[in-house]
Homo-oligomer: A and B are copies of this chain.
Amino acid sequence: MPAKNINTEMTQIDDYFKSAISVDCVILGFDANGLKVLVIKSQVDPFIGMWTLLGDLIHPSEHLHDAAKRVLNKHSGMGDAVYLEQVEAFGNADRHPLGRVITIAYYSLVKLSDYDSSTTENSTAVWKSIDELGKMGFDHNEILVACIQRLRRRVRERPIGFDLLPHKFTLTQLQSLYEAVLGEKLDKRNFRKKIISMNLLVDLKETQKEVAHRPAKLYKFDEEKYKKLESEGFSFEL
């Protein structure tokens, strides 16, 4: 625990225990219209009404990662079994109007198909497309950009794209997810060749229903197989 103020020297030390630490989560989802972020309207003075990321101060003896999970769970209803990664600490001395608050940015990937706003009591958060956010409160635009850049790199080297898709998905959905994240068009045949050759997808022998065109085959990601291959030195590369 911090020292008490018993003399001048101690008071100085105590000065160092006057910062707060928060986590801010870039909670990302994906649907036919692209990448979405869960945001909320700020209630903090100079930023009232602006969109902000979801975050909270870290409880006094809470681990960083647990704080991020708590925030995620409160607003998305899904805390565990969701991809969550720390990205960067943002700590400019003047970034928060209430005092010195350093924030640790995380991003997480959730399946929008599983999202159910009724399970998130009292959260007024909404999903917005990442390009319709405008100027956000605090330094949250900067945080968002840092997280998306990180995602862009990671999605090529780990099979985390699947965390944004429904359990059952088509190859076209998978491809358009990659296109949305990477911000570039990919060649259909080459994409399929590569992803199929990794042997990480299970053909569910089912097809889409209720689409006004030829229905596509459905696949799922084989988590167990990936873990096994990974432990043998295989590395996902797209």
Name A residues whose Cβ lies closer than 8 Å to a Cβ of B: 1-3, 15-21, 57-58, 60-64, 86, 88-94, 98-100, 102, 104
In the bound complex, do residue B16 and residue A18 qualify as a contact, i.e. CB atoms below 8 Å apart?
A: no
Provide the main secondary structure of the chain A interface: loop
Contact of B2 with A60 in the complex, beta carbons under 8 Å:
no
CB pair A89–B92 under 8 Å, yes or no, is no
A86 to chain B, nearest CB (A): 6
Assess whether B16 is in contact with A57, with CB atoms less than 8 Å apart.
yes
Q: Is the CB of B20 within 8 A of A58?
A: no
Q: With A1-B99, A86-B88, A99-B1 in contact, is A62–B93 under 8 Å at CB?
A: yes
What would be 15 A-B contacts, judged by CB atoms less than 8 Å apart? A1-B18, A1-B99, A2-B100, A3-B98, A3-B99, A16-B60, A17-B19, A19-B60, A21-B102, A60-B100, A61-B93, A61-B100, A64-B90, A64-B91, A64-B92
Closest CB pairs A-B (n = 10): A64-B91, A61-B93, A89-B89, A16-B20, A89-B104, A16-B57, A2-B99, A17-B18, A17-B20, A1-B99
Asked if B21 and A21 sit within 8 Å, CB to CB, the answer is yes
Cα distance A16–B21 when bound, in Å? 8
Smallest beta-carbon distance A106→chain B, Å? 10
For A20, list chain B residues within 8 Å (CB): 2, 16-17, 19
Q: How far is the CA of A57 from the CA of B17 in the complex (A)?
A: 10
Q: Which residues of chain B have C-beta atoms less than 8 A from A60's C-beta? A: 15-16, 18-19, 93, 100
Contacts of A58 in B (CB 8 A): 16, 19, 91, 102
Q: How far is the CB of A31 from chain B (nearest CB, A)?
A: 31
- How distant is the Cα of A31 from the Cα of B148 in the complex, in angstroms? 37
